[in-house]
Structure 1
Amino acid sequence: MKKSLIAPVVFGALALAVGGCATPPAASTSAAPSTGASTTVAQSDFKACMVSDAGGFDDKSFNETGYSGLMKAVQELGVQHAEVQSKVAADYAKNVEEMVKQKCDIVVSAGYALGDATLAAAKKNPDTSFAIVDFAYTNDKGKNTAPSNLKGLLFNSAEPAFMAGYAAASLSTTGKVGTFGGAPYPSVTSFMDGYARGVAYYNKAKGANVAVLGWDIDKKDGTFIGGQDPFGDLPGGKKVASNLMAQGADVLLPVAGPSGEGALQVAKASNGKVASLWVDTDGCVSQEKYCSVIPTSVGKAMDVAVFEAIKAAKDKAFSNEVYIGTLANGGAYLAPFHDFDSKVSAETKAELDKIKAEIIAGTIKTTA
Structure 2
Amino acid sequence: MTISRTKKLAGVAAAAGLLVALAGCGAAPETAPTSSESAPEVVEGFTPCLVSDDGGFNDKSFNQSALEGMERAAEELGVEPIEVESSSANDYAPNLENLIAEGCTFIVSVGFKLSADTIASATANPDVNYAIIDDWADADGDGTTDAPNIKPLQFDTVQAAYLGGYAAAAWSEQAGVNKVGTFGGIPIPPVTIFMDGFVQGVEKYNEDKGGSVETFGWDVEAQDGSMTGGFQANDTAKQTAQGILDQGVDVILPVGGPIYQSARDAIADAGSDTVMLGVDSDLAAVDESVADLVLVSIMKRIDQAVYDATMSAATGDFDVEPYVGTLENEGVGLSGFGAFESELPEGLEDELAALQEQIISGELEVTSPSSP
Contact residue 96 and residue 121 of structure 1 kept, 8 A: yes
Alignment of 1:1-368 (within 5 A): 21=1, 25=2, 27-31=3-7, 45-138=45-138, 143-172=143-172, 173-226=176-229, 230-268=230-268, 273-367=273-367
Asked if the contact 1:33–1:74 (Cα under 8 Å) also holds between the matched residues in 2, the reply is no
- Greater length-normalized contact order (CA 8 Å, ≥ 6 residues apart): 2
232-241 vs 312-321, which deviates more?
Answer: 232-241
Which residue of 2 is the match for residue 7 of structure 1?
Answer: none
Instruction: Please report how far the alpha carbon of residue 56 of structure 1 lies from its aligned counterpart in structure 2 after TM superposition.
Output: 1.2
Give the drift of 1:66: 0.5
CA contact (8 A) 2:171 2:345 kept: no
The Cα of 1:58 is off from its aligned counterpart by 1.4
Unaligned runs of 5+ residues in structure 1 are 1-20
After superposition, what is the alpha-carbon deviation per residue over 1:212-238, rounded to whole angstroms, capped at 9, x for unaligned?
A: 100112111111011xxx101333222
- Residues 32-83 of structure 1: CA distance to partner in whole angstroms, max 9, x if unpaired? 6899957785895421000011121111111100000110011111122111
Q: Which amino acid aligns with 1:206?
A: K
TM-score of the aligned structures, taking structure 1 as reference length = 0.87
Could you tell me how far 1:257 is from its partner in structure 2? 1.0
Q: Secondary structure at the match of 1:204?
A: helix
User: Equivalents in 1 of 2:200, 2:131: separation in Å?
Assistant: 31
Contact 1:46 1:80 in 2 (8 A): no
Cα pair 2:233 2:261 within 8 Å, conserved? no
Would the aligned equivalents of 1:235 and 1:259 in 2 still touch at CA under 8 Å? no
CA contact (8 A) 2:163 2:198 kept: yes
CA displacement 1:73-123 (0-9 Å, x = unmatched): 111111221111101212311111111111111011111000000011111
Q: 8 Å contact 2:131–2:150 — kept in the other structure?
A: yes
**1:224-274 deviations in Å (ceiling 9; x for gaps):** 011xxx101333222212221111111000002112211123335555621
Instruction: Check whether the contact 1:283–1:294 (CA below 8 A) recurs between aligned residues.
Output: yes
Amino acid at match of 2:158: A
1:17 is matched with which residue?
A: none
**Cα–Cα, structure 1 residues 296 and 256, in superposed 2: closer, same or farther, change >3 Å?**
same
1:131-156, Cα deviation, whole Å (9 max, x unpaired) = 11111134888732343211010011
- Unmatched 5+ stretches in structure 2: 12-33
How many residue pairs match? The answer is: 341
- What do you get for the CA RMSD once the two structures are aligned? 2.3
8 Å CA contact 1:267, 1:293 repeated in 2: no
Instruction: Tell me, in whole angstroms, the C-alpha distance in 1 between the residues paired with 2:95 and 2:216.
Output: 38
Q: Secondary structure at the match of 2:265?
A: helix
Which residue type is aligned with residue 291 of structure 1?
A: A
1:49 counterpart SS class:
strand
In 1, distance between residues paired with 2:210 and 2:158? 23
Secondary structure of 1:257's partner? Answer: coil
Q: Do the aligned residues in 1 keep the contact of 2:282 with 2:297 (CA within 8 Å)?
A: yes
Instruction: Give the Cα–Cα distance (whole angstroms) in 1 for the partners of residues 288 and 366 of structure 2.
Output: 29
CA distance in 2, matches of 1:72, 1:297: 22
SS in 1 for 2:292: helix
Whole-angstrom distance in 1 between the partners of 2:277 and 2:9: 34
With over 3 angstroms needed to count, the CA separation of the structure-2 counterparts of 1:295 and 1:131, relative to structure 1, is: same
